[in-house]
Amino acid sequence: MEDRVLSQRCVFLVDDDEIIQTVMRQVIESFGCCVISAWNGQEGLEEFKNHMGDIHAIITDARMPLMNGISMISKIRELDSHILIAIMSTHTNVDIKTMSEQLGIRYFGKPPRIEALHSFLMGTPPKD
């Protein structure tokens, strides 16, 4: 399922769940993307700064130790206001959905559907 356009892109995955990280990495790599990862928002912010010019898109969990996904995204937006960002949550949370809309980021239930993930990485608007 590798996509020639996506093979030029690097995705930054931030999640504290090892199983989610493993599965998401496999799916994203199957599109042809490289993956950089971090285990929490604090580490995510530091890794983003280290790889800022290389990252095409960020996919993060909403709830993590040390720094949650929303706080990390807010800090990253100060550094790069145009990068594609998606936030995931296992909980259907209206507040997280509302915040994601206000921040201009995509919201996914966890784990996201493969088609929705591919569409996000291609920069295509979501299908409701």
Q: What is the pLDDT of residue 90?
A: 76
- Per the CB < 8 A criterion, the answer to whether 117 and 27 are in contact is yes
Contacts of 109 (CB under 8 A, 6+ apart): 88, 89, 90, 92
Q: What is the pLDDT of residue 63?
A: 86
Q: What is the pLDDT of residue 98?
A: 73
Total-model pTM: 0.88
41-51 helix and 69-79 helix, angle to the nearest 10 degrees: 20
Q: Is the pLDDT of residue 100 over 80?
A: no
Q: What is the pLDDT of residue 8?
A: 76
> How far is residue 116's CA from residue 54's CA, in Å, rounded to a whole number?
23
Confidence band of 102 (pLDDT split at 50, 70, 90): confident
Q: Which residues pair with 85 in a beta bridge?
A: 58
Q: Which residues pair with 109 in a beta bridge?
A: 89
2: tokens are 């590798």
Domains of the chain: which residue ranges? 6-122
Placement of tokens 């608007």 in the chain: 125
Residue-wise pLDDT for 15-42, tens only, equals: 999 999 999 999 999 999 999 999 999 9
**6-122 carries CATH number 3.40.50.2300:** yes
Residue-wise pLDDT for 50-95, tens only, equals: 999 899 999 999 888 888 888 999 899 999 989 999 998 876 666 7
Q: What is the pLDDT of residue 59?
A: 95
